[in-house]
Amino acid sequence: MTQDEMKRAAAAAALEYVEDNSIVGIGSGSTANHFIDLLAKSMIPLKGTVASSIKSAERLESHGIKVMDLNQTGPLDLYVDGADESDAKLNLIKGGGGALTREKIVAAASAKFVCIADESKLVDVMGKFPLPVEVIPMAQSYVAREMVKLGGQPALREGFVTDNGNIILDVVGLEIRDPVGLERKINQIVGVVTVGLFAARPADVLILGTPGGAQIVTAS
Ligand code: 5RP
């Protein structure tokens, strides 16, 4: 099975969590794209969806699926999204696609967060994948210096602007042994909009696509 087929297998298994006539939060990236396509095929009746990026909203709408404003929906029952890394406690690194802020907002507003990923995303200690940090443009150098103090090496994601008009610093060199503490520290740096560590609100369920099919992982 290819990596893409494993992503699709995880996305297919997440359909089980979608209730009829609900409003579903939908993430961003190639695994979330599979979920969007499979959701459209499934014909599960929905009240609508909330998208965590402009790209996902466009893909949903291209299938004729209604996209709603989170301010109009109230709390969501379910959020389905991919990840760049997960540890065994289902703390995540997200934001490889740059949609981390809206993803964190939709995850926060959802009762259940189902993360879908291929098996390569499950790691012992997070930090190999560069940690994305969304930053207000004028704070770029200041935040970069603060990240160095935390032991990381930040690099500007060249030519990239987030859906919110900000920049991304991708930070390498961090061994994330205390995800909750590091998320709090980085969020407190002035000029940081969001760090792509999802630890204060981790996933509730991780569905891993493996060569043997989808496997459900709960926090250990
Ligand atoms: C986008 C994300 C994605 O969920 C993450 O990058 C995983 O992407 P993919 O499903 O393409 O592997 O956080 O901001």
pLDDT of residue 54: 97
Tokens of 75: 């709390």
- Mean pLDDT score, 93-120: 98
Residue 199 Cβ contacting ligand 1 at under 6 Å: no
pLDDT in tens, 182-199: 999 999 999 999 999 999
pLDDT of residue 44: 97
Is 103 labeled as catalytic in the residue annotation? yes
- For 102-153, what is the HEC assignment? HHHHHHHCEEEEEEEEEHHHECCCECCCCEEEEECHHHHHHHHHHHHHCCCE
- Structural domains in the chain, CATH included, are 3-122+200-217 (3.40.50.1360), 131-195 (3.30.70.260)
Give 26's strand partners: 51, 80
The whole-angstrom separation of Cα 82 and Cα 106 is 13
Supply the pTM of this predicted model: 0.97
**Count of residues making up the chain:** 220
Of 33, 34, 53, 94, the one to substitute when testing ligand 1's pocket (max ligand atoms within 8 A of C-beta) is 94
Give 134's strand partners: 168, 194
Tally the C-alpha atoms within 13 A of residue 95's C-alpha that lie toward its C-beta: 31
